[in-house]
Amino acid sequence: MADSLLSSPGLTTYDILSRHGVSRRDFLSFCAITAASLGLEAQQVPAVVEALETKPRLPVIWLHGLECTCCSESFIRSSHPIAQDVVLNMISLDYDDTLQAAAGHQVEQIRKDLIEQAKRGETEYVLAVEGNAPTKDGGVYCTVAGETFLDVLRETAEHAKFVIAWGSCACNGCVQAAAPNPTGARPVHECITGKPIVKVPGCPPIAEVMTGVLTYVLTFGRLPELDRVGRPKMFYKQRLHDKCLRRSFFDAGQFVESWDDDGARKGWCLYKMGCRGPTTYNSCATFKWNGGVSWPIGSGHGCIGCSEENFWDDGPFYSRLAKTPLPGIEATPQKVGIALTAAAGVGIAAHLAALAIKRGRAAATENKAKEA
């Protein structure tokens, strides 16, 4: 680990990997898999290979504010056999409170030196932030080497090429910012201005997503295309609901009603148990967790929407998203219309309503046929 933290200026990712005994075949395989996960065409794989072979590693300053370090835990457990080597060697991790071997004023000086070099135009660096900044009472609830985290964050962001906000703490505030937010915790984009920021939310974000974002940034020297809330579209464009293995049960109106009922045993839809998959955008259904072993919904627990804003305050967990009629439950089209109006703008309502209307029409046709 200590070796990977050495700056080794001028060395490329591939130089470092070769020194660590990674074969060229494994390296090319990683580039192909990573390019695919980024949604790149096959003909763009050489661009990834070339970038990792020729571009000097990217200096990264990785700050930790109020957080639990689950993002770092996720990051160092990438599932591809050489992904750990790649992610920890593709960047020059010059400063990281939790992974660095050195400590104290020595590492604070490394951070300040890098900032000075960037000021003089001698280098560029990326600022990665895990956690958020408490702003109440002068920011005293999180300090580093005698400085408030808020000041450290602002000072480091000022000369960064761009900023990566890791996890829901940095992106949205997460549990620290949940009401009543006693420390005045604020996500990164509310603490700094004038810098391009990519948000990679999740509690934690998926390792492959973090690896993918870093690979993209290193390969193309810019941030990927972002969605309306600042997340990379390539990983956050799809609702969990749309790729969910339980979706056919949702469409059929077959729902788990309690954790130990027959529906739970049969793997039915978890919507009535509070699943937020219909309003959550993330890659869990694609990459899954722990090297693709499973994911929360696959294991029988509904999604709690950890990659969405204010997910702690949008509770309670384990209760249905919206009081809309469900497929498989008796509802007239009129009742559906009233519910739809109340839930305007909620996509799930429209879907459920469409199903209920379809059923209503089918029932009406059946009744007419009987009357005739």
Positions touching ligand SF4 (CB under 6 A) are 202, 240-241, 244, 246-247, 250, 269-271, 275, 277-278, 280, 282, 284, 295-297, 302-307
11 vs 70 by CB, closer to ligand SF4: 70
Nearest distance in Å: CB 44, ligand SF4 = 28
210 vs 304 by CB, closer to ligand SF4: 304
Nearest distance in Å: CB 93, ligand SF4 = 25
End-to-end CA distance of the chain: 79
186 vs 241 by CB, closer to ligand SF4: 241
Nearest distance in Å: CB 268, ligand SF4 = 8
What are the φ/ψ torsions at residue 204 (nearest 5 degrees)? -90, 180
- Residue number of the CB atom closest to ligand SF4: 277
Instruction: Give the DSSP letter string of 125-143.
Output: -EEEEESBEE-GGGGTTSE
Output the CA angle 190-76-299, nearest 5 degrees: 90
Nearest distance in Å: CB 205, ligand SF4 = 9
87 vs 352 by CB, closer to ligand SF4: 352
Instruction: Give the DSSP letter string of 191-241.
Output: H--SS-EEEE-SSS--HHHHHHHHHHHHHHSSPPPB-TTS-BHHHHSSBGG
Nearest distance in Å: CB 241, ligand SF4 = 4
46 vs 347 by CB, closer to ligand SF4: 347
Task: Name the residue among 168, 205, 268 with its Cα closest to residue 74.
Answer: 205
Structure token pair of residue 323 = 């009081």
66 vs 297 by CB, closer to ligand SF4: 297
Residue with tokens 């029932």: 363
CA 189 to chain centre: 16
What are the φ/ψ torsions at residue 147 (nearest 5 degrees)? -105, 150
Please tell me the number of Cα atoms within 13 Å of 213 on its side-chain side: 29
Nearest distance in Å: CB 164, ligand SF4 = 19
Nearest distance in Å: CB 272, ligand SF4 = 9
72 vs 148 by CB, closer to ligand SF4: 72
Close Cβ partners of 69 (under 8 Å, ≥ 6 residues apart): 98, 130
20 vs 77 by CB, closer to ligand SF4: 77
53 vs 227 by CB, closer to ligand SF4: 227
Nearest distance in Å: CB 161, ligand SF4 = 29
Nearest distance in Å: CB 126, ligand SF4 = 25
What residue spans of the chain are helical by DSSP H? 13-19, 24-37, 45-54, 70-75, 83-90, 105-119, 149-158, 167-172, 188-191, 207-220, 233-236, 247-252, 262-266, 284-287, 333-342, 347-371
d(CA 198, CA 60): 15
Burial class (CB in 10 A: 0-12, 13-18, 19+), 226: middle
Is the CB of residue 303 less than 8 Å from the CB of residue 276?
Answer: yes
